[in-house]
Amino acid sequence: MRFSRLLIPTTKETPNDATLASHIFLIRGGFIQSVGGSGLYNFLPLGKKILDKVHAVVKDELDKAGCQEVSLSFVTPASLWEESGRLEKYGKELLRFKDRKNNDFILGPTHEEMMVNLVRQTVKSYKQLPLNVYQINLKFRDEIRPRFGLMRGREFLMKDAYSFHTSTEDMQREFALMEETYKKIFTRLGLEFRVVDADSGAIGGSGSKEFMVLADSGEDTIVVCPDCEYGANIEAAVAKPKTYDVSTQVKVVTMKALYDEGVTKVVHFALPSSVELQEVKACNAVNANELVEHEDTDTIITLVADSLLEGVDSLIAEEKSYADISAVQEGDSCATCGGALRYTKGIEAGHIFQLGTQYSEPLGANFLDENGKAQPMVMGTYGIGVSRLLAAIIEQNHDDKGCIWTKESAPFDLQIIISNIKDDGQVALGEKLYEVMLDKGVDVLLDERKDRFGAKMKDYELLGVPHAVVIGKNLADGVVEFISRNGMEKEEVSVDEIVDFLSERF
């Protein structure tokens, strides 16, 4: 590709709403363009190209793992969501609308219902199982607060896979296979990541794991053990239980729990005063959709005490129960090996769930077993935020000048920079190298614009192609430069050897 022909509106100015490196560089580099704010983005040619490359890696690994790609309708009938009971549970994030005949539709935020519907119509026998189908398609979630560019847009590209099995054991086998497949995907993309235990949230199910790309700018706090493999989202983390006795100071936190159909309930949570309440755990403990703050009240009807207090506290309530509702703190002991747990920040780029029959039962996704008896399919579901991965890659791979794309995500393999296009020698060599490398199947960007050297280098650094050849003034001495974006190391190579030099590398 010739730079002069490419639609890349690079800018010096930082967009005023961008604070994250990935957001700033994606906009400044002309990879994406904001659509009137509000978490919607257009992908310009370079952004689209990277998206496709990431897409290709994901597809390649899934196909190798035996998954089959499909593509489901983005617009989905609301009736399916009523069937599964999620129309209400999912709440305002669902973008709902009516067609001209007044039928209710939603834009799919995730596709369990649609996929189960597809499978229940086509799979009838145990002989057709197991099955793992996936798609890489747009999702729309009407987020409360979209921000950080591609990190949390309202419209985003997601890979969502769904597996169907005759037994829990077989589903768990597939779950493990997906975990391995995800590790391959993230590794190929050049990401440093950690697999952690997670809360299942609105998707439901049990035994879910998140794939966290480690970055200080990550929105999730994860608890990791430096001495073993243990890692968990703070929402699901557990530590070795500490012991308390009757002298322990106990504090009580008042919250309001929200349920379907506008039902609310005031709940009190009791825990040692040195320990923080973990809201997601607390929410799960009372099976609520959401917890909101509530002013303290003295009359305690429903009380959930932290399991650490069992047999220790003397609180009394009409309805009293124990559950793990405490937040793991830094320095707590690892339940597996006793190591001192640490906090770190991560970007949730993938999440895999063991669903069981939570969707197949209400939606009637049954198969006939060997005995001719109808059984609900056992399911797993597996997601990767593909467009979020672009942001994650930059968060982990950038410097103050711009992006540093990893090998499998880079928009081009090589950039050839002609320093001064008025120098016929430089132009001739640039054009020649360009042709030669294209013939070798290397994806090359040739910067033959009229701009000066400085502007071209700034753009090179901003765009972040892994390697560049600079044909400049020392061509007079028969030398060109080979630059690696990561670290900006320069290497002088003689003109006679440059073709061989590049051939070895690409």
Residues that bind RNA (CB under 7 A): 10-13, 15-17, 19, 36-39, 141, 143-147, 151-154, 156, 158, 199, 201-203, 210, 219-220, 279-280, 290-292, 348-351, 383-385, 387-388, 401, 419-422, 450-455, 457-459, 461-462, 470-475, 481, 488, 490
Q: How far is the CB of 219 from RNA (least distance, A)?
A: 5
Shorter beta-carbon distance to RNA: residue 12 or 100: 12
Residue 66 region, left (φ>0) first, then alpha (ψ -120 to 50), else beta?
left
Query: Chain centroid to CA 155: how far?
Result: 13
Shorter beta-carbon distance to RNA: residue 85 or 339: 85
How many Å apart are CA 283 and CA 258, to the nearest integer?
Answer: 9
Shorter beta-carbon distance to RNA: residue 24 or 334: 24
Exposed/middle/buried for residue 165 (C-beta within 10 Å: 0-12, 13-18, 19+): buried
Helix 498-505 to helix 424-439 angle, to the nearest 10 degrees?
Answer: 30
Shorter beta-carbon distance to RNA: residue 211 or 412: 211
Question: CA angle, corner 207, sides to 55 and 228, nearest 5?
Answer: 90
Would you tell me how many other CB atoms lie within 10 Å of the CB of residue 193?
23
Q: How far is the CB of 444 from RNA (least distance, A)?
A: 18
Residues with Cβ within 8 Å of residue 222, at least 6 apart in sequence:
194, 196, 212, 231, 232, 233, 234, 237, 343, 344, 345, 346
Q: How far is the CB of 313 from RNA (least distance, A)?
A: 24
How many Å apart are CA 44 and CA 31, to the nearest integer?
Answer: 5
Q: How far is the CB of 152 from RNA (least distance, A)?
A: 5
Beta-bridge partners for 378: 165
Q: How far is the CB of 206 from RNA (least distance, A)?
A: 14
Shorter beta-carbon distance to RNA: residue 95 or 312: 95
Q: How far is the CB of 247 from RNA (least distance, A)?
A: 31
Q: How far is the CB of 154 from RNA (least distance, A)?
A: 7
Shorter beta-carbon distance to RNA: residue 65 or 151: 151
Q: How far is the CB of 160 from RNA (least distance, A)?
A: 8
How many Å apart are CA 280 and CA 269, to the nearest integer?
Answer: 13
What order do you get walking across the sheet with 264-272 strand by strand? 290-293, 250-258, 264-272, 302-306, 319-323
Shorter beta-carbon distance to RNA: residue 313 or 459: 459
Shorter beta-carbon distance to RNA: residue 240 or 458: 458
Using CA atoms in the order 256, 110, 43, 147, what is the torsion angle rounded to 10 degrees? 10
How many Å apart are CA 206 and CA 203, to the nearest integer?
Answer: 10
